[in-house]
């Protein structure tokens, strides 16, 4: 071999070595468990990815993201959690309703929950300030704002007496919220009507029996109710029932009103948790964050369809009004 050709081969091999090493190096991997389907979560995913990008994590370049979708079926939580454990992902991000299943699947992989309804009461964490273990995240403190939701509902419906409450009792966090709503409703003079649903097919018969029996419908947050938001709103409108939800995304499909934290903002903030964990911070040392801002929203199209007039004082306080 000629000397010039030998030098070219050596230089070429040396120059390509870093790229070969980079190709062989495994990117940090995020397992993202969506409890519903991709379409309703598109804004949440966009907010999460945007913040990751701002923090220097680029999908396919500096981080890999494995997305899995449970489609509102809680039995899928266990399957997807087990898959993430097999894949040996570096951190798992999920909504609150799936977090308990993920925690049962692994005590080693860090877990970031985004919509924890009652992380302390449900046993997700030992403490909000020092969670301990492998779990941390963002709480929506659902039970703490039940009373405020009921007050707002009564401002819109001064004659409200019979309140239907729909929830999936298979989800411990939704079951806890259901109990809290019942307690708060009785305390302010409402008659609670408890509706338990465990699958998509349960919604139609459950809401059918409410015709003429209830004055409004309170929906407890859960993967099943989120995946069936349009169905709930359509059935409620057919039954002439005003609805209140925990997030304004429900109003896009015809819900009347919502009060709670911004869900896209929760997912955006979760990227900061992921960033800290990927850079070496233990999840148990990262305090659980509580909402800093609660949003009030109304759908005036739905109000008109129900023959309701939302008080101007409430509209003036609203963060979003769909007209």
Helices (H), the chain: 3-24, 42-54, 75-87, 96-105, 146-156, 172-187, 203-208, 223-227, 229-238, 263-278, 300-305, 312-317
The domains spanning 26-139+262-292 and 143-261+295-322 adopt the same CATH topology: yes
Q: 19 pLDDT exceeds 50?
A: no
The reported pLDDT for the residue numbered 30 is 98
Instruction: Please answer whether residues 218 and 163 qualify as being in contact, where contact means their C-beta atoms are separated by less than 8 angstroms.
Output: yes
pLDDT one-digit tens code per residue, 196-207: 999 999 999 999
Give the residues across from 260 on adjacent strands: 295
Judged against a pLDDT cut of 70, whether residue 42 lies above it is answered with yes
Give the rounded distance of the alpha carbon of 36 from its chain centre: 9
Report domain extents, the chain.
26-139+262-292, 143-261+295-322
Integer Cα distance of 106 and 88 in angstroms = 10
Of 1.20.80.10, 3.40.720.10, 3.40.50.2300, 3.30.160.620, the CATH number of 143-261+295-322 is 3.40.50.2300
> What's the chain's length in residues?
323
Rounded CA-CA distance 83/286 in Å is 25
Query: Do residues 283 and 133 lie in contact, with contact meaning Cβ atoms separated by under 8 Å?
Result: yes
26-139+262-292 classified as CATH 3.40.980.10:
no
CB atoms within 10 A of CB 148: 14
Question: pLDDT tier at 17 (50, 70, 90 boundaries)?
Answer: very low
Average pLDDT in the chain = 89
Q: What is the pLDDT of residue 25?
A: 53
Binned at pLDDT 50, 70 and 90, residue 4 comes out as very low
Tell me the whole-structure pTM to 2 decimals: 0.84
pLDDT: which is higher, 18 or 262 = 262
Cα separation of 82 and 87, whole Å?
9
């Amino acid at each position: 071999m000629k000397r010039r050709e030998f030098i070219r081969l050596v230089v070429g091999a040396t120059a390509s070595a870093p790229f070969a090493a980079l190709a062989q190096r495994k990117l940090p991997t995020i397992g993202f468990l969506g409890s519903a389907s991709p379409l309703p979560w598109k804004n949440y995913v966009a907010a999460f990815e945007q913040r990751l990008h701002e923090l220097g994590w680029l999908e396919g370049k500096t981080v890999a993201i494995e997305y899995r979708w449970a489609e509102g079926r809680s039995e899928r939580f266990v399957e997807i959690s087990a898959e993430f454990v097999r894949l040996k992902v570096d951190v798992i991000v999920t909504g609150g309703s799936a977090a308990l299943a993920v925690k049962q699947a692994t005590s080693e992989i860090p877990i970031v929950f985004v919509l924890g309804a009652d992380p302390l009461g449900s046993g997700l964490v030992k403490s909000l300030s020092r969670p301990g273990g492998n779990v941390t995240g963002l709480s929506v403190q659902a039970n703490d704002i039940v009373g405020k939701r009921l007050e707002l509902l009564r401002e819109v419906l001064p004659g409200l007496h019979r309140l239907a409450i729909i929830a999936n009792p298979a989800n411990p966090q939704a079951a806890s919220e259901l109990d809290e709503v019942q307690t708060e409703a009785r305390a302010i003079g409402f008659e609670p009507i408890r509706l338990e649903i465990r699958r998509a097919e349960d919604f139609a018969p459950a809401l059918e029996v409410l015709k003429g029996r209830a004055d409004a419908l309170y929906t407890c947050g859960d993967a099943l109710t989120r995946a069936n938001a349009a169905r709930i709103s359509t059935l409620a409108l057919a039954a002439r029932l005003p609805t209140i939800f925990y997030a304004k995304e429900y109003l896009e499909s015809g819900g009347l009103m919502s009060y709670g934290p911004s869900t896209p903002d929760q997912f955006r903030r979760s990227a900061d948790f992921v960033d800290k964990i990927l850079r070496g911070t233990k999840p148990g040392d990262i305090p659980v964050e509580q909402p800093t801002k609660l949003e009030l929203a109304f759908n005036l199209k739905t109000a008109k369809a129900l023959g309701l007039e939302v008080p101007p004082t409430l509209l003036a306080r609203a963060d979003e009004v769909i007209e």
